[in-house]
Structure 1
Amino acid sequence: MNGKTIEERLSNYQEIRKNSKELYDTFNKVFSPALGQHVHFTSNGFNHLIYKNAKKERDKKTQILRFDLLERAKDVLERSTTYQEFEEEMEYTRVNRHGKYQSINLVVKYWGFVAIIDKFRIKVVVRQVGNSKAEFYSVIPAWITKQYRDLKVINNSTGKGLKDENDEEILKNATHSDDL
């Protein structure tokens, strides 16, 4: 990071990506006390930091920001004893069955871990497809919640997740926003 902004570091994108991949590869797997199992750092997780989907690469600034959060993501998974979000759904998913890729419907589970580490509020997402191993899926800064999935969790949480007297008005405005 060296005190430079992401914009100043864009010219070194390839080197940052290479160094981040090398760091990521050292993680292999970590034990998550919250899940009671290991979370594996696979190529799927690293690819998700770079691509939104198979054909759409994320903005390079967004990638650098996510790369910067990798070390913290590992720390969150190792230290968290609870997860803040959980979602389970059926997805038509491409899987490798005995050396052949096929698309089938499977239950996919997502866990979200939100934590503040070194003054950074981040969200780490772990994904498990069917009965396979739990895998690191993503890390993002968790400054503002505007995604429907996040709002749904707030609405369903105990006490509606409200911390301040103005939060109810903010939440109402966010749920009626055009961004959703």
Structure 2
Amino acid sequence: MRRHIFSLNTMALVSIITSSFLYTVIQYFDKTTKKSTKMAAKFIILAACVATALAQYSAPAYKPAYSAPAYSAPKAYAPEPAYAPAPYSFEYSVNDPHTYDVKSQSEYADGNGYVKGSYSLLEADGSTRTVEYTADDYNGFNAVVKNSAPAAYKPAYSAPAYAAPAYPAPAYPAPAYSAPAYKPAYKPAY
């Protein structure tokens, strides 16, 4: 890009020098004779063509080429740490009939990728859903879902009978309002 800017500046400089030279030549031949004016015009046209031909872009000094990308060496990662097997076993249960939160879970793992467990919960219709599952590195996660037969719905509670109050309703006299009176509280100054 920089080379092209230099070429454009060179072209402008050559055009200015050529124009000033041609102007000087015309002035010289105008003072002499009319015959030499025709010759001067031919010379000016020839000089303009030569200046235009010389003011073209020059070829680049080098053949443009892209270099091969430089890749860095692959990073050496540390080997994955090996941990001792960590077997575990847990179980818990919740039995809260007031909020209908009845559930339980138990799980066992041998520490080498095999897990076996189950959980159960009380559904809204009164049935119990039990899920028994196993998981390992070869077979993945497998679950078996069992639903107990739905229990009979609990009978709906009957609304309590409404009894009239034992005391009489209070009787209040109607309020008496006087009509509003609009008059100024001060004496006007006008």
TM-score, length of structure 1 as denominator length: 0.20
Larger RCO, structures 1/2 (Cα 8 Å, 6+ apart)? 1
- The structure with the largest strand share of the pair is 1
- The structure with the largest helix share of the pair is 1
